[in-house]
Amino acid sequence: DGGITQSPKYLFRKEGQNVTLSCEQNLNHDAMYWYRQDPGQGLRLIYYSQIVNDFQKGDIAEGYSVSREKKESFPLTVTSAQKNPTAFYLCATRDRGEYQETQYFGPGTRLLVL
């Protein structure tokens, strides 16, 4: 199957703990993105990567870190510095397309703080 996979589906974090969310794609897309969604709000950009070994901060990068060692993988670490991590985390890839670039999303990870 082609697509974007995210794991785990649900993740529980204890106070002071770092946790890593997985995002994998087999679409051969260069660009990947991490967004966060809070209830009743639109998605906000955390980090993005346009190519392997390069990534940039988005609008709300504080308390998060990423790596892009392989084209297929763009993991997101939620560090203890992120004071309000409870949210729905969505990974996306960008398809250049024949006529227009579009982004497609993985199924998401729900992070809850215990």
Partner 1 sequence: RKEVEQDPGPFNVPEGATVAFNCTYSNSASQSFFWYRQDCRKEPKLLMSVYSSGNEDGRFTAQLNRASQYISLLIRDSKLSDSATYLCVVMEGSARQLTFGSGTQLTVLP
| Contact positions vs partner 1 (CB under 8 A) | 31, 33, 35, 40-45, 48, 50, 56, 58, 88, 90, 92, 94, 100-108
Q: Which is nearer to partner 1, 12 or 18 (CB)?
A: 12
Cβ(85)–Cβ(53) under 8 Å? no
Q: Which is nearer to partner 1, 1 or 101 (CB)?
A: 101
Closest contact distance (angstroms) between CB of 86 and partner 1 is 14
Closest contact distance (angstroms) between CB of 63 and partner 1 is 19
Closest contact distance (angstroms) between CB of 4 and partner 1 is 9
Q: Which is nearer to partner 1, 43 or 113 (CB)?
A: 43
Q: Which is nearer to partner 1, 5 or 17 (CB)?
A: 5
Q: What are the backbone angles phi and psi of residue 30, rounded to the nearest 5°?
A: -75, -45
